[in-house]
Amino acid sequence: MTSIDRRLQEALDGERDPATLPAELREAYARLVGAAQLLSHTPPASVAERVMAEVRRLPAPASAALAFEDGVARRVARWFAQPRAVTLRLRPAWTLAIAAALAAVVFLPLAESVAPGAEEGVAQFVGHFPGARSVEVVGSFNDWRRGALPLSDEHHDGIWHGAVVLPAGQHEYMFVVDGERWVADPLAGRYVDDGFGRENALLIVRPAVGP
Amino acid sequence: MRPALGLALVLAASHASAVSAQSVRARLEDRVPAAALPAIDSLVTQAGSEGLPTEPLLQKALEGGVKGIAADRLVNGVRRGLTQLRDARAILVRAAPARAVTPGDVAAVSAALARGLSPALVERLLGAAPPPPPEPAGPVLHAAADLVARGFPPDSAADLLLTAQREGLRGVRLLDVAAAASHELQRGCAPGEALVRVREMLPNVPEVPPPRPRAVTRRPGPRS
């Protein structure tokens, strides 16, 4: 064991003024005093204790602090607003039944309202009219009445489309663009002289039920 | 026939005619120029009295009205329509004298003529009708018009369709024959080669798939 210098020991014990120590002993004195100060702040023994100590030093959470002040409505609202883990236990048979019921609710009314009959079929209209504000289909199937069958451009890409159930057979029609421009469907493939100097597109609707 | 019964029938017929005339006027009023209404009414009545379908003439008048056609041109268009209906019925009677002439067939023949088929070709197609029950005239005529419109020689197109009928294809399946021939053209075949290829497929030409849109609505504006 290394013996400590007597003068240094006296300074550490407070029996001597550290300023009277030689320079090398003053440096050793300073290191020893610093070490002693570090040891006086011993951390908690474990990580868990240190974390808990930090937690205890934090201010109490608002919800806990105000628990007694909050009204019932506020607490209920907070209960609904906070995310919670939910465990749902379903039997596969019930799951399939619920899915089928949801599908029926979503799709059946649509199917019932648009299903073509034996002498009907589905006609689909598509036109490319970039920049158009409106496009509608007017034809023999709606007594050439305006405003009965507007097309839509859902993606705002100039592709206008719509579909309708019509009686099987032949129908003449035209597109009306922006309410004033009459255009024979460029994609129709069949055209017939309209008797007034232009051509109508000709549509042949097939019955949905095969011949 | 007893005089009272005959009188009742005449009164009933005149009443039905009056009701029909009223419904024609009701459909056309406010939809065609007022100046054209009497003449159109007269043409439609004339068609009805000849046993011709009146709906195509009403549709032509409504079409002219919504397109803003002047009254005189509109009347001329309806008159031309009446002439086409007469021609169509004459062709039907010549092609198949034993066949009952239906309004649908008259309209189909009229449309085929308007699409550019010659009366001779229409007569040939209708004269070689498949065995009973009689088929509507529309599909075979439209199939022929489709083929002619795509550049196939009319007689060759008719030959192909008559062969398809002999192979048992009926109704809209004949449109599939025309679609198959057009498909062969798009693949680069010459018209003659395309017809040969389709003839070899018969009767198993591919069926044109029906449209499957996401959303479908009902027919707008039912005819009144």
| Residue range A175-201, pLDDT digits in tens | 999 999 999 999 998 898 898 999 999
Q: Calculate the dihedral angle through the C-alpha atoms of A142, A144, A146, A148, rounding to the nearest 10 degrees.
A: 10
This prediction's pTM:
0.65
Contact B108 A170 (CB under 8 A): yes
The predicted structure's pLDDT at residue B171? 87
At residue A106 the predicted structure's pLDDT band, cuts being 50, 70 and 90, is low
Mutate to test the interface with A, among B67, B106, B141, B147 (most CBs of A within 10 A): B67
Among the residue ranges A6-10, A89-93, B77-81, the one predicted with the least confidence is: A89-93
Tokens of A75: 């607490």
Contact A124 B69 (CB under 8 A): no
Listed in order, the ranges of chain A carrying CATH 2.60.40.10 are 114-205
The minimum CA-CA distance between B58 and chain A, rounded to whole Å, is 9
In this predicted model, what pLDDT tens digit does every residue of A38-54 receive, in sequence order? 776 655 556 777 777 77
Question: Which of 3.30.300.30, 2.60.40.10, 3.10.310.30, 2.60.40.420 is the CATH number of A114-205?
Answer: 2.60.40.10
Please tell me the distance from the alpha carbon of residue A174 to that of residue A191, in angstroms, as a whole number.
10
The minimum CA-CA distance between B203 and chain A, rounded to whole Å, is 15
Tokens of B21: 């005339």
Cross-strand pairs, A128: A159
Please tell me the distance from the alpha carbon of residue B89 to that of residue B91, in angstroms, as a whole number.
5
Nearest Cα to Cα of residue B71 among B31, B36, B28 = B36
The minimum CA-CA distance between B208 and chain A, rounded to whole Å, is 10
Nearest chain B residue (CA) to A164: B217
Closest by Cβ to B213, choosing from A141, A145, A163? A163
Nearest chain A residue (CA) to B182: A189
The predicted structure's pLDDT at residue B132? 67
Domain ranges of chain B: 26-114, 118-209
Q: What ipTM was estimated for this complex?
A: 0.80
List CB contacts (< 8 A) between B175 and chain A. 204, 206
The predicted structure's pLDDT at residue A33? 84
Mutate to test the interface with B, among A106, A166, A196 (most CBs of B within 10 A): A196
Answer yes or no: is pLDDT of B44 > 90.
yes
Task: Give the mean pLDDT of A103-116.
Answer: 59
In this predicted model, what pLDDT tens digit does every residue of B68-114 receive, in sequence order? 999 999 999 999 999 999 999 999 999 988 888 888 899 899 989 98
Given a contact cutoff of 8 angstroms between Cβ atoms, the answer to whether A171 and A205 are in contact is yes
Within 10 angstroms of residue A140's Cβ, the number of other Cβ atoms is 23
Q: Regarding predicted confidence, which is higher, B17 or B190?
A: B190
The predicted structure's pLDDT at residue A132? 95
Judged by a CB distance cut-off of 8 A, whether residue B138 touches chain A is yes
